[in-house]
Chains A and B, each alone.
Chain A
């Protein structure tokens, strides 16, 4: 899932300052699952903001809507009325939702982000999420025992652990596991260590963001 984290209240407050009628727009997909921008988080933020404005003696109207998802036009369109009625939309989706609600609603509608979009990750344990994929556009997991060195090595190395790997930990932080240690262990367990003898040549970063904004087109699905 795409993992997000709510921005500090002070930052949200400052960006909402000019507006009197706010629609907080949650998203029912990834950010619901990672407890950052689903229906409940919309409720909490709305309640917090209502109390804040009441304290400040400001009259601000706050609406709450949570869509099935913000990355599909068909789920945004039924809510356009409410979106148009607001001065501003505070989207609690990932950066994708923030942009797409704006795209669908049109340039008159101001959509602001309530979250910082962090990464593609997993729910490691309750209350903890961790990065697993960097969306590089050219998956190498078949060569790396299913553990991604692009997303999980601080240097994105492709030819094994650097000299900073110690006791299974990364040099940048003892909390961080060395991805290449994990790859090594798994290949060893599988009796496939010889895979690490091969030199992986310089990666083609064209399919990644370095090649410019990306698009996927499936002609068979187009109308």
Chain B
């Protein structure tokens, strides 16, 4: 597992995370290449089912980046997303998958450095947790 490169599904808000990503790119900041990115118009569009499906389909983690609380383009979409993340974590914990594989961050506007740091932080977090227990189970099954 030493060379484990996690697969992380990034669900990014168009208004903050993607703007921040642009800034990071233009500034030639480097960050971990482990994100499969999905653009959403607001994190408030993300449903519990999307998070579960991402995990079920093989993600090692789900990273959601939305606007700072109080600065959501749609006023409270990010607040809803936070609650749904909590619920999704609970559902994952119930079946023995660490809920902390799902993380949500706030980025205050186009802050490239912060964005790059979050990506790295999340990648490190998932690396430390190791591959999704679903993959481990599948692997153990193959080995058996």
Contacts and interface: CB of A to CB of B under 8 A. Distances in A.
Direct contact of A and B (CB under 8 A): yes
A210 interface: no
B141 A57 contact: yes
Contact of B53 (A10, A47, A54, A57): A47
A48 B49 CA distance: 9
B95 A48 contact: yes
Interface in A147-195: none
A44 B94 CA distance: 13
Given A56-B137, A57-B140, A51 B97 contact: yes
Contact of A55 (B49, B53, B95): B95
Contacts, number: 44
B129 interface: no
A44 B48 contact: yes
Counting chain B residues whose Cβ lies within 8 A of the other chain, the interface size class is 10 to 19
Contact of B95 (A40, A43, A51, A57): A51
B134 A48 contact: no
B47 interface: yes
Contacts of B49: 40, 43-44, 47
A46 B40 CA distance: 24
Contact of B134 (A9, A44, A49, A55): A55
A55 B96 contact: yes
Most chain B CB within 10 A, of A9, A51, A55, is at A51
Taking chain A's interface residues, is the majority helix, strand, or loop, or is none over half, making it mixed? helix
Nearest to A126: B80
A90 to B, nearest CB: 16
B133 interface: yes
A40 B51 CA distance: 13
Contacts of A49: 95
B138 A54 contact: yes
A52 B91 CA distance: 10
A86 to B, nearest CB: 20
Contacts of A56: 137
A51 B48 contact: no
Nearest to B134: A54
B116 interface: no
A52 B96 contact: yes
Contacts of A21: none
A5 B138 CA distance: 32
Contact of B55 (A40, A43, A51): A51
A50 interface: yes
B52 interface: yes
Interface in B92-137: 92, 94-97, 133-134, 137
A40 B133 CA distance: 24
Contacts of B56: 47, 50-51
A54 B91 CA distance: 15
B94 A54 contact: no
Nearest to A41: B49
Interface of B: 47-49, 52-53, 55-56, 91-92, 94-97, 133-134, 137-138, 140-141
8 contacts: A10-B94, A40-B47, A43-B53, A47-B49, A48-B94, A51-B97, A51-B134, A57-B140
The list of the 5 closest CB pairs from A to B, nearest first, reads A52-B95, A47-B52, A9-B94, A55-B137, A43-B49
